[in-house]
Amino acid sequence: MASRPTVQPARPLSPHLTIWKWRVHMAVSIVHRVTGHALAFGAVLIFAWWLAALASGPAYYRFFLDIVLSPFGAHMGSGIRHFIMDAGEGYDLVTSRRMAQATFAFSILATAGLWAWILAGGY
């Protein structure tokens, strides 16, 4: 008993992502958990914020819609930049900088465009 190790070796944690062979059942289970938590800390937050914005009046509601819809344009713009850089293009300093600027410009324009469409009654 005296020779018993006092430091426990690190044990794999449930659900043992690193030691089991990947199968579709496991993927479904993990996606269920991941999307559930994304909903709990993402969608639910936006949902509660939407209700609170609605309760706060028209000016704040408008601000809420501006904020919430802006990530679509922002992520789409920077995502296209990623595609180009993945292909091995645009790494020189000038082009790299211009693309980063264009990303932000696109985000703003896309958000404004989406808004123009919504306000024009498209949605």
Give the residues lining the site for other proteins (CB under 8 A): 13-15, 33, 36-37, 39-40, 44-45, 47-48, 51-52, 54-55, 57-58, 61-62, 65, 118-119, 121, 123
Smallest gap from Cβ 79 to other proteins, in A, equals 25
Closest approach, Cβ 96 to other proteins, in A, equals 38
Specify the residue, 68 or 105, whose C-beta has the smaller distance to other proteins: 68
Other Cβ atoms closer than 10 A to 48: 10
Residue with tokens 């703003």: 108
Nearer to other proteins, 22 or 41 (CB): 41
Q: Is 77 exposed, middle or buried (0-12, 13-18, 19+ CB in 10 A)?
A: buried
**Residues found in the chain:** 123
Q: What does residue 97 show for φ and ψ, rounded to 5 degrees?
A: -65, -45
